[in-house]
Amino acid sequence: MARAMQQPTQSRDPFVWCIALTTVFFAFTMHRLAIPTAPYFDEIHYLPAAREMLAMHKWVNREHPMFGKEMIALGMWALGDNPWGWRIGSALAGTLTFWASIRALWFASQRRFATLAYGILLASGFMLLIQSQIAMLDAYMLAALAVSFWMLAKAVRQPEHGRRYLAASGIAMGVAMGTKWNAVPLAIVPGLAFLIVRARAAGWRFVWSKRGAPVPGVTLLEAALWLGVVPLLAYWATFLPAYFFSVNPLQPGGFLDYQSKMLALQESVIKPHQYSTRWWQWVLDQRGLWYLYRDIDGAQRGVVMIGNPLTMIAGIVAWAWCLWAGIRGRKDALAVAVLYIFAIGFWIIAPKPIQFFYHYLAPSLILFAALALALDALWRRGPRWLPLAFLTAACGIFAWFYPIISAAPLEGGRPAFLHWMWLDSWK
């Protein structure tokens, strides 16, 4: 176990393998991207908002920030008001999430097997793929979050370019918040971590000192600019189109007041929903969320938002290991464990009365990072067949469930979904 507690050691960057894994994931996102040919699930809310944005006419769907709808509108402008135009942005954003996530783990851990295992876990985990094939806001939020933490990890690993990476991280974080407020709990982590680490490294001079971790050469005050002020400016910038709608635009000076109106709109949704769930059901992969189940495009098709049952449950154990290893000195494991606490902790205390399984998207990406680090520890300690067998099993379960998470034509008519319902609560 002592070897598992050692700090990350340098190994060869699996850059080419990262490209290969990302290419495979992108191919999966493009497969049946235009099916169903009609809007489904929450597309019925965001597509009208994107159309109004293209026309710069009426500002609708005001309970959410604007960036995700701007990207959906951009796809429709580029490819037309059709299924390809609706969803191409999500496919690209999901692929960027995949790439940025595995690169973030590489720079954080410098562990080759962990990085590649993370890619396999993300690709076979169901949730990211499903969200990358629907015109909702979440894929754009995830992409911005992943880029932000990728740039942050690069700043720590390559401090000679730390300033530019911190600036990029701050911009991406502002974009994430400008897509969905779900990003806010994670937005406070980089600045808070910089403060704590610098205070420990520099002592009582931590406010103005440029010496020491996490990014030598950057003072705490400058970090506050990149990780505090810049995200807020980027967040405001995502609202610029709102000032130019022909009907009821955002008024100059009305930005701050509108934020309280958005909060009120989000908290006003209190009508019970049959698929509403709570955080413990997400953690246990206990309750599915049906995005689609109907006879459409010549066949019975379905898309159920659940997580890969093997990796979701194993991820809980891996998170506990990361927390323990982090307390014992593993900085990368500690970072992942703390991020998960912030990501899931928000939903434990959130006043939002109606919550859904897709709110677990960001925490699940962090959970898979914890699982990748735990598998890497097994890989280094041996026997190596065990983590390889686990990853193979994860891919096998993904292959089994693929028809019911990808809108494939299902045989057997309406009861066909029962073939995949391991738990009654998934129905």
pLDDT at 11: 80
pLDDT, averaged per 10 consecutive residues of the chain (427 residues), comes to: 43 95 98 97 95 92 93 97 98 98 97 98 98 98 98 96 96 97 94 93 84 92 96 97 92 91 79 78 93 95 96 98 96 96 91 84 97 97 94 98 96 89 88
Extended beta strands in 195-334, E state: 289-296, 299-305
Q: How far is CA 28 from the centre of its chain?
A: 18
Q: Where exactly are the structural domains of the chain?
A: 15-249+274-426
d(CA 110, CA 113): 9
pLDDT at 1: 34
pLDDT at 270: 67
This prediction's pTM: 0.94
pLDDT at 2: 36
| Cβ neighbours of residue 108 closer than 8 Å, sequence gap 6 or more | 153, 156, 157, 332, 335, 336
pLDDT at 206: 83
301 three-class SS: strand
